[in-house]
Amino acid sequence: MNDEYVVIAQPFTGKCIFLEWDHVEKTFRNYDNITGTSTVVCKPIVIETQLYVIVAQLFGGSHIYKRDSFANKFIKIQDIEILKIRKPNDIETFKIENNWYFVVADSSKAGFTTIYKWNGNGFYSHQSLHAWYRDTDVEYLEIARPPQALRMPHLILSSSSQRPVIYQWNKATQLFINQTDIPNMEDVYAVKHFSVKGEVYICLTRFIGDSKVMKWGGSSFQDIQRMPSRGSMVFQPLQINNYQYAILGSDYSFTQVYNWDAEKARFVKFQELNVQAPRSFTHVSINKRNFLFASSFKGNTQIYKHVIVDLSA
């Protein structure tokens, strides 16, 4: 698969829908699908040129598929243990010291947010993080802690029952260790990170109250900016070329697009989008064209094109 593809989870149809770019029509068209039940996450990962897709489902268990280039179809190669992953809500993939991992945030009362490691033939349980906290989101990022100068792998878990928890990678044990939490930030649904001039920032999404932008200060995250966000389930930073954006969705009003102001070192309002109950915003770049995929809980996924308008004339 040497072309450009996009995969979208469709919970109501239970499918992972794959789209490919039509270079003639200049549109996205259907390419393939993986059929399941109440599919909530379709996470692709490429290991040594082989494409795998982690399919998380609310019912019927979650599974891993690989793309068979000879048969030209997806083949299920593995089931994910149902006793740990009961209600998956988010998946992140990452690589540490040439080893591939993925982590599933489980939002059930009896589930375990669990890390899986690639062993050459499949993914197997590597570490279970805190249980029974109903995690809604997991974010992988690399930050430095004094006296270390090098950035180390970290995970931030968001939960409906506690403040976001920060885990740090322990190189000796090859495990993540509970380090600290982010104070005064209850009811955070998700955390997403971005970098500007080497500095690490995070966007914290809250359905009730204000969402926040925070900056890593070496030992903790510090408040930078607050955004009113009643009804928000997504606050997604995106970098398109040299532009840094943050998109704050809402179930009750227009989606707000913010642009990073380098002089003020904060976001400023840039544009509004009309998306019904947005759940994710994803940047896709194809042939020097930049697209924004806006998924919706109540409507169709919308695709926007990023354009630069010359206002100097």
pLDDT digit string (tens) for 210-262?
999 999 998 899 999 999 998 999 999 999 999 999 999 999 999 999 999 99
Residue 13 lies inside a defined structural domain of this protein:
yes
Nearest Cα residue to 116 out of 99, 97, 94, 101? 101
Q: Which has the higher per-residue pLDDT, 170 or 2?
A: 170
pLDDT at 66: 97
Output the pLDDT for position 84.
84
Percentage of the chain modeled with pLDDT above 70:
99
Confidence of residue 2 (pLDDT cuts 50, 70, 90): low
CA-to-CA separations, 237 to 105, 134, 216, in angstroms, rounded = 20, 24, 15
- For the chain, the average pLDDT equals 93
Give CA 168 to chain center in angstroms. 19
- The structural domain count of the chain equals 1
Inside any domain, residue 129: no
pLDDT of the residue at 146: 78
- Give the global pTM: 0.94
56-79 pLDDT, tens digit each = 999 989 999 999 989 999 999 999
Residues 212 and 207: their CA atoms lie apart, in Å, by 12
Q: Which of 123, 110, 119 lies closest to 84 in space, CA to CA?
A: 110
Answer yes or no: is 21 within a domain.
Answer: yes
201/211 Cα distance (integer angstroms)? 13
Domain that holds residue 56: 1-80
Which CATH number characterizes residue 71's domain?
Answer: 2.40.128
Domain contains 9: yes
Q: What's the pLDDT tens digit per position in 94-119?
A: 999 999 999 999 999 888 999 999 99
Q: Across-strand partners of 261?
A: 266
Q: Is residue 312 part of a domain?
A: no
Closest CA to 287 of 17, 16, 28: 28
pLDDT band at residue 149 under the 50/70/90 scheme:
confident
